[in-house]
Amino acid sequence: MTDGPVNVDDLQWTEYDHGRRAFRRKQLGDAAGGEQLGTSLYEVSPGKRLWLRHYHEGNEESIFVLEGSGTLFLGPDAEEHRLEAGDYVALPAGEASAHEIAAGDDGLRLLMSSTMDEPDITVYPDKEMVGLYAGAAPGGEKDDRTLSTYLDRNAEVDYWEE
C-alpha cells in the first residue's frame, strides 16, 4: 500500500551514459509503491537514444510523449515513426513491439509504463541477445532477483549432455 501521492520533483534522477545512449530516469511506479505496474519519467538529450532495441516476451510496455520530438523504430524491421508531444504508443509483449527511441533536435521527455510480471525474457534482436529475469521483473528491484543474466540468443546445450 502506498503512503499517498509521489511528486516527480521530490525524486532524484538516475543518469545513464553509454555513448550515444544517454538519458536520465525517475522511477515513479517504484517510488509510489507500485507492484504490478512500473512507470518511469525519461529525459533524452538531443540526438541521444534510450535502451537498446528490444521487446519483452512477458511484459507489455507503453510510451507517452510529454515534450519534444524523436523517432520510434518499431517492429522486426525497425520501421521509423515520428514521435511528438501527445503521442501514445502501446507495446504488447512480442516481436511486433521491438522498439528503440531516439530524441530529435529538441530532446525528448516521456513516460514509459510496463507491467512488472516475472519471470520475463527480453529479446535484443540487433545484438542476438536475450535477458532472463526471475524474482523481479526488468525495472524492478535488482536485489530481489534470483536470476538476472544476458546470453547469446543462440546459446544452446544438449538437454541430455552430462
In degrees and rounded to multiples of 5, residue 121 shows phi and psi of: -120, 125
Q: Is the C-alpha dihedral spanning 111, 105, 51, 100 positive or negative?
A: positive
pLDDT band for position 2 (cuts 50, 70, 90):
low
Indicate whether 49 pLDDT > 60.
yes
The residue behind cell 530529435 is 104
The residue behind cell 540468443 is 153
pTM for the full predicted model? 0.92
8-117 folds as Jelly Rolls (2.60.120)
Indicate whether 110 pLDDT > 90.
yes
Beta-strand relationship, 79-84 and 61-74: antiparallel
The pLDDT value given to residue 1: 52
Q: What's the angle, vertex CA 109, arms to CA 86 and CA 129, rounded to 5?
A: 105
Burial per residue of 19-31, b for 16 or more beta-carbon CB atoms within 10 angstroms, e otherwise: eeebbebbbbbbb
> The C-alpha cell of 14 is what?
538516475
> The C-alpha cell of 68 is what?
519534444
The count of other CB atoms within 10 Å of the CB of residue 54 is: 20
Given a contact cutoff of 8 angstroms between Cβ atoms, the answer to whether 89 and 114 are in contact is no
